[in-house]
Amino acid sequence: MTPHGGERDAEIVGALGAVRARIARACQDAGRDPQSVTLVAVTKTRPASDVAVLARLGVHDVGESKDQEARAKIAELGDLGVDPAALRWHVVGQLQSNKARSVVSYAHAVHSLDRPKLVRALADAVDAAGGRDEPLHVFVQVSLDGDPQRGGVPQAGLAELVDAVAARPQLRLRGLMAVPPRGEDPQRAFARLAELAAGVRADHPRADALSAGMSDDLDAAVRHGATHVRVGSALLGRRDPVFG
C-alpha cells in the first residue's frame, strides 16, 4: 500500500462513480442498457496500485498502450493481491508487429489493429503459443480523416482489412475502433463511425461491438452505439502531457 493509499482509493471511487453515471445517463438518452457498455480503464502511465484499486472496485477491463508497461504492471499485480489473469487486458495503442508474441500472451483484446501485417503477426503469434482458450478479440482501428498521426486504416482499405481479420480463426473480429479527428465535433465523427460500423456488420454480423469514446467524449460515443469506452484521465486524473 502506498502511504496515501486510502486517499487514492477515495479519489478513484469518486471518479469511477462519476464515469459510471455519465455512461448510465448516455445510455438512458439512447434507450440502451448500461450493461451493453464495457468500461475499459486506460491505466497507461499510472502505477499498478491504481489497477489494483480499480480491480477491487469491480473494473476488470484494463487498457494499456505500451506492451512493456502492461507487462511490468502484470508482473507487479500479484504482490498487490490481484490476480492479473482475472483481468481482461486491452491493447489500445499503436502496436508494432514484433510485439505480437508478447501481446497474445496476456491480452484479451487489441483495439488498434490497423494494417494487414499485424493480422498475420497476431495470428501467427497465437499459433506459436500453441493456441489460446479463446481467440484474441480484435477491433479494427479506422481513420476518420486519413491523418496517419492518429492511427487507423484509411477508409479505402477498411473492408479488406476487416475481411483479413475475419478469415483468421485465431482472431475474433469484434468491430471497429476510432479516435475522433482533432478539432472535429465528436458527435459528427461518431456518427460517421457508426455508419462505417453498420457497413462492417452487414458483411460480418458477429462484429457487433464498437470501441469509441474517451474521457472527454464518451457520452457522445455511447449515444452513437459504443460498446467499449476507453477511459483514462476521467478515472485516474490527467496524465503528464509529455508522457501521456
Footprint of ligand PLP on this chain (CB under 6 A)?
Answer: 42, 44, 65, 92-93, 179, 214-216, 230-234
Q: Give the orientation angle of helix 186-203 with respect to helix 158-166, to 10 degrees.
A: 50
Closest CB to ligand PLP among residues 170, 215:
215
Q: Name the helix (H) or strand (E) containing 56.
A: helix 48-56
Closest CB to ligand PLP among residues 144, 214:
214
Closest CB to ligand PLP among residues 40, 162:
40
Nearest to 19 by CA among 217, 239, 224: 217
CB of 74 to ligand PLP, least distance (A): 18
CB of 235 to ligand PLP, least distance (A): 8
Closest CB to ligand PLP among residues 38, 215:
215
Nearest to 172 by CA among 202, 133, 144: 133
For residue 85, what is its C-alpha cell? Answer: 489473469
223 CB neighbour count, 10 Å cutoff: 20
CB of 239 to ligand PLP, least distance (A): 7
Cβ–Cβ under 8 Å, residues 140 and 109: no
CB of 232 to ligand PLP, least distance (A): 3
Nearest to 159 by CA among 123, 194, 197, 110: 197
Chain residue whose CB lies nearest ligand PLP: 232
Cβ–Cβ under 8 Å, residues 19 and 63: no
CB of 190 to ligand PLP, least distance (A): 14
CB of 243 to ligand PLP, least distance (A): 11
Closest CB to ligand PLP among residues 77, 234:
234
Distances (CA, A) of 31 to 23, 54, 186: 12, 28, 20
Cβ–Cβ under 8 Å, residues 204 and 19: no
Closest CB to ligand PLP among residues 29, 216:
216
What residues pair up with 138 in beta bridges, in sequence order?
110, 173
